[in-house]
Amino acid sequence: MKNNINRPLKVVSPGRVNLLGEHVDYNDGLVLPAAIDRYVTFKATPVNDQTVTVHALDLQSSCQFSLESLEKKKDIHGEELPSWAEYPAGVAWVFMNHGFEIRGLEVSYSSTIPIGAGLSSSAAVEVGFAVLWQAAAGWKLDRLTLAQLCQEAENRYVGVNCGLMDQFACANGVKDHAVLFDTRSLESKPVPLPPNTAIVIADSGVRRSLTDSSYNERRSDCETAVRLLKKVYPGIHALRDVSPNQLENEKGILPGVVYKRARHVVSEVARVQKALIRLNEGDAQGFGELMVETHASLRDDYEVSIPELDVLVASALELPGCLGARLTGAGFGGCTVNLVLEQNVKGFISKLAKVYHSRTGENAKVYLCHASQGAMLK
């Protein structure tokens, strides 16, 4: 525990894109994220006192807080921590509560992950700080536990009721692979991405307006569905346990909106199961078709899409080489993810941006991504 390091440290922590399995993580479902080669890069120097000085270069903002008074959520001048500084402070707070040594640091970080676009920039920050503190103090921790503690920081300190997928993907990414993550058993395995294809992300430019109430309503609808379906199927614990046939047979006992929300989750869990077969067979076309089905389900049943995302998806599917497209992340803004044949990527990127602008008047940033390794010390 006492292999303290005093040399400068550098950590890179990736964002993530979820390829399939949207809004199922809080229903005990299976998700299929990939870490991407868009990173938060940290440069840190350990210090010999209990202060942490953080420079968020992209925000042109700095904050200094003491490890001895994290509970108060104040900086060393007694002012409220800015919201962005709650992420590193929360990580330190949780790890110290669990008995891990956390050292004072001076840290500068910047990001190539678009903020607020649904690519997990906040989880990348949390996991990056966790890896930094682990390196500075010399303790070791498996990556699942590290991700769980970062999730705890976001839930209990920052106050965002997120699932585990984002932190897990940022910590456990595998180069050139998606990672299947079972949010119930917490088991995971890498899954090869289709050969000769690329992941292209299109940022709509619309920042997510997912309010807590919208998100909480959908979680509540899922819980209502489980409660009502339990009367017929007492063995179920979450929507993950309900088959499409069971849901259709009992749709009459569910209020209309609750049924639609449940239909998305139940069908999405089934799509991830099909996706595994298609990926293991190298069936890029079949995997892309499932992405398109997911977008329709998120748009019509879960109602988390917006016109700009629908335009991006429809426009992408008209272009040569696009095998699949859908919104990714929570919805209400942010990005789409596209599966594109490698030979068509260059043309796809330039054409999609032009078509989107012509149809909406908005500018989309479209960029090629590769599935990457999880957060690491450089």
Distance of alpha carbon 185 from alpha carbon 285, whole angstroms: 30
Strands 51-56 and 105-111: parallel
Neighbours of 3 (CB within 10 A): 10
* Residue pointed to by tokens 């996991």: 127
Q: If phi over 0 gives left and psi between -120 and 50 gives alpha, with beta otherwise, what is residue 6?
A: alpha
Q: Which residues pair with 9 in a beta bridge?
A: 44
Asked if 268 and 294 count as a contact pair (C-beta separation under 8 A), the reply is: yes
Asked if 314 and 336 count as a contact pair (C-beta separation under 8 A), the reply is: no
SS3 labels along 309-331:
HHHHHHHHHCCCCEEEEEEECCC
Distance of alpha carbon 289 from alpha carbon 236, whole angstroms: 29
Distance of alpha carbon 118 from alpha carbon 332, whole angstroms: 10
| Residue 310 known to be catalytic | no
Catalytic residue among 25, 28, 37, 166: 166
**Residue of 130, 144, 236 lying closest to 183 (CA atoms):** 144
**Residue of 342, 345, 343 lying closest to 176 (CA atoms):** 342
SS3 labels along 237-285:
CCHHHCCHHHHHHCHHHCCHHHHHHHHHHHHHHHHHHHHHHHHHCCCHH
Task: Report, as residue numbers or ranges, the catalytic residues.
Answer: 166
